[in-house]
Each structure stands twice: as C-alpha cells, then as structure tokens.
Amino acid sequence: MAGQPMMHPPIILLKEGTDTSQGRAQLISNINACMAVVDTVRTTLGPRGMDKLINSDKGATISNDGATIMKLLDVVHPAAKTLVDISLSQDAQVGDGTTTVVILAGEFLRAAKPFIEDGVHPRNIIRSFREASGLAISKAKELAVTVEGSDEAEVRQLLRKCAMTSMNSKLVSGEKEFFADVVVDAVSKLDPRTLDLRMVGMKKVTGGGLRDSFLVDGVAFKKTFSYAGFEQQPKSFDNPKILLLNIELELKSEKENAEVRLDDPAKYQSIVDAEWNIIYKKLQACVDSGAQIVLSRLAIGDLGTQFFADRDVFCAGRVAQEDLERVAKATGGQVQTTVNDLDPKVLGTCARFEERQVGAERFNLFTGCTQAKTATVVLRGGSEKFIDEAERSLHDAIMIVRRAMKNSSILPGGGANDMQISRELRDYARSIPGKSQLFINAYAKALEIIPRQLCDNAGFDSTDVLNKLRQKHALPPEKGANFGVDVNTGGVVDTFASFVWEPALVKINALGAATEAACLILSIDETIKNPKSEQPDAGPMPGRGRGRGRGRGRRGRY
C-alpha cells in the first residue's frame, strides 16, 4: 500500500544457536562471577589463613597458595578466567602475593558495581581506576625503603626476615626460622648475576619431621633403578671424573621382524658375538676415558652394571633429564651421545660423591661443585600431601629472597602499606572535581580489603582494628605510615619494626595487575557464545546410495 514503509527481511548474522548477552546485565554478571572466585580464595590470606582441599582427577591437593588453588579450580566462566591469569602471572613474575592480587582485583570490581548499577559509563570508571593505580604505584615506590646491608651478616639477616614474612602464612610457619636459613643458604649459593631458579632442586622424602630436611651444597637425586651388580660398585669418591651420556648401554634384542639367512649354522655364533663385542667396546671406551662415575639419561643394563662394578666404576641409568642437566652445569661435564673418541675435556668433576640413606630412600649426592653454583633442598615430612605443600611454600620464599637480592626495596607488611596508600588516595580525591572523586575514593576504600581480610581470617573484629589503623595513618607519615595488623593480639603494630616485610615489587606488581584485570572486565559489555559444531549424521554420503544429492544436516533452508 502507498504510504507504508517497505518491510525488509530480518538479517541473520550469527549461526543458529549462538548465545549472546550484552549490556549492563552482562557486566554485572561478569562482576558477580569474579567475586564468586574471590570468595573462594579470600580466607587463605595471611598468617591465619585457612587451607583449601581440592579434589580432582589427579588426586587431592591441600594448599593455601593462591596460584595453586586458582590453577586447580578449573574455572570455566570466561570473565573469571582473567583472575586465574593474573594469579599465575604474579606467581611467575614475583613468586608471592598471588592471593593478594586476586582479592584486590575482586574488590576493585566490587567497588565499581554500584556505579555500574546506577548507570555510570564503564569508561569513566576505567579512566579513574587507571589514574588511581598510577598514583598508588608511585606512592608505594615512595614508601619503599632500601635495606642494603653494610656487611654480609647484615644482608643475610635482612633476607631471612623477608623469607620468614613469606612463610608466615604457609603450612611451614611453625618452622619458619629453620627454613628461612635453608632458603637463604640455597639462594646465596646461586650465581649472583643470574640467580637461576632451575639451579635450586627440591627433592621430597616421606618420613621424619620438617626439621629433618637439609640442604645439599650441590646436586642430589634419588637412586635410580639398578641391576644386580650395582651393590658391588663403590659408593663414594673424592674428586671423581664424571661421564654424562645420553645412550643406552645394554644388549639390544633383535626386532621381531628381523631376518638373518645363513648358509652355515656355525656362522650363527659369530653374529651373536658381534652384538656382544659392540656393547663391550662401548663399555670399555667409558672405562678408558678415566671416568669413575657414569650417568646416563637412558638405561644401563645388567651387563654394563656388572662390567663397571668389576672395574670400580659407579654407574646410574635412567637419570631424570633435569637432574642430568644440573649435574652437567654444576660439574662442568658435557652430555655425550656417543662413546667414540671421548675427550677428557667433556668429563665433569666435583669435590665429593657419595650415596647416602635418607629415610627409606637412597640418594646420590654430588657436593663441592665449582663450575656452577647449585643447591638441592631435601624435604622431609609425615605425609606426601604435607611435603607437597611445604615445597610450594618454600618456592614462594625462594622467589621472595631472589627478588630481595635483586631489588632490596621493601615495604612494611600486615596491610600497613595498603592503609597508607588508601589514605593518600582519599586526600587526592578531595582535591579533584567531578565524578572521578567518587571513583578514586572507591578505589582507595577497596585497598582496605587487605588489612580487613587479615583481621577476618585471624578471627578479630575487623571494624575495630581498621578504625585504629585509620587513626594511626591520619598522623604524619613518619609517625603512622608503618602501622599494620597485629595478628597475634588483634591490635595494631609497627610492622616495619616487627620485621613483617614484603619486597616492594610484590605490591607494585599486584596493584598494576589487579587494576588491569578489573579494567579489562569492566570494558566487556557483550559475551557471544558460539554453538558447538555439530557432527554430521552417520548416514550415507551426499549423492551416494540412498542420498538425494543434498547434505542432510540441521533443518532449515540452504
């Protein structure tokens, strides 16, 4: 009819079954999902934090390490996965503060939620949060104190304090002084230019107590699978020559499909002898090289084991790749893929080798290595789960000590730096006009979640403690900036004077990563979920047999 607009057919853009959700409701949904993830790890923060038991296909894991929990949770919500990513990023970059970064990101989102519900555009909030983050990081750098010791003993004490602060919230906190010495000794043995974490090994032996753990000044690994002649081999050497191999030293049986045709049965023995001659030639070449210890990535069979035993040579086959690499670096040896023309230069050496009984296991110990600095921590404990968590705790402490050696700037812990940065941001917010004042104020309030959660996890009245902290931090910085939560008494304490320290890098990285994660989630206004591609019918192929020449897929026009 004249005067009526033409009706256009609807445009179908996305595949049938695609799920789309957008707008404010979608943003609120993403924030709620992230807050649900935060609520899972919230109670693990601090010295009085609780542990989580995660039961998966790989078995049960008991931990309060944020990165470990986030990894095992198997989060499927696409927005909430961002929190998993920043937790793993913090773990890789700094090694500690993984729970902190997740809690901060969740609290920033919680602070933004009321504004989103009131109709504020997310871009305004993102802009203000980024500004607040820049200010917070610069304030953290101002608060940081460089604690470079004047002599070696003083530096060691400073590193011990950082290690103990890291282990305060871990399962091994009861023995933190003992393990602080172990950790500082282990990191101190590394090359100060690289501080390569791969040169610190950790071996776990069930049985005994935590204090039965010890540090090996060199490489240690569990005795490998061995054959009968092994017990006749010498188990200790001084200044031995070490040959490292990546070849098999055992008789190889013929393939099932191998075929040998002989015109004279007497020749069969010569074929068998040739095979034995090959293996004997290899074994003799190892002995002729002057090596007293032969390690191989692959198997050393019963013939090789007995051959070496008769010549007072120690051998071990099927040595783990990482252990062989550490022995190579520590002793100066080079892994060989052939035993022909062995050069004495490829042999490694160390001051002492011995095989020692540790609990129910026997360990091979290479000590006094001069080519590269390395150390191995042998952990003891009552159960496998306990030792696994102790290993994760020591990993965090080792990372913290490494960071403190590279960058000696520290901040007072126990929520003290969070409260001081929060107070500075509040003061700044009052000096600016417009809505940004509200957003930066909300960001500042969100920073209080760290001391608040420390109180909640310790069973104290967080409102009462926070009021005391606010009163302290309202004083000039030189009088109150170092006051944080005292988890022992439920009051406040000068955490700097109490040696509750954390490297400045931990907090700076956590603030930056948490803000970026929150801004990323706030910038998402639509989620599109594509349907799973359907498998074609298992019927006849199109155009064949009973088919009519068309694909018989889902109903609809083609």
The rounded distance, in Å, linking the Cα atoms of 294 and 313 is: 7
Q: What is the 3-state secondary structure (H, E, C) of 134-165?
A: HHHHHHHHHHCEECCCCCHHHHHHHHHHHHHH
The rounded distance, in Å, linking the Cα atoms of 378 and 363 is: 10
Q: How many CB atoms lie within 10 A of CB 493?
A: 20
- Name the active-site residue from 44, 61, 99, 376: 99
Helices assigned H by DSSP within 356-503 = 384-406, 416-430, 436-446, 449-458, 462-473, 477-480
Is residue 162 within 8 Å of residue 503, measured between CB atoms? yes
Residue 507: burial class (beta carbons within 10 Å; 0-12, 13-18, 19+): buried
Is residue 79 within 8 Å of residue 521, measured between CB atoms? yes
Q: Is 65 a catalytic residue?
A: yes
Q: How many CB atoms lie within 10 A of CB 352?
A: 16
Q: What is the DSSP letter of 233?
A: S
Concatenate the DSSP letters of all residues of 179-230 into one string. HHHHHHHHHHTS-TTT--GGGEEEEEEEBS-GGG-EEESEEEEEPPP--GGG
The rounded distance, in Å, linking the Cα atoms of 63 and 60 is: 10
The backbone region for 204, taken as left when phi is positive above 0, alpha when psi lies in -120 to 50, beta otherwise, is beta
The rounded distance, in Å, linking the Cα atoms of 432 and 425 is: 11
- Name the active-site residue from 396, 418, 486, 494: 396
Q: Is 396 a catalytic residue?
A: yes
Q: Is 99 a catalytic residue?
A: yes
The rounded distance, in Å, linking the Cα atoms of 141 and 421 is: 10
- Name the active-site residue from 98, 100, 224, 331: 98
The rounded distance, in Å, linking the Cα atoms of 406 and 409 is: 9
Residue 455: burial class (beta carbons within 10 Å; 0-12, 13-18, 19+): buried
List, by residue number, the catalytic residues.
65, 98-99, 396
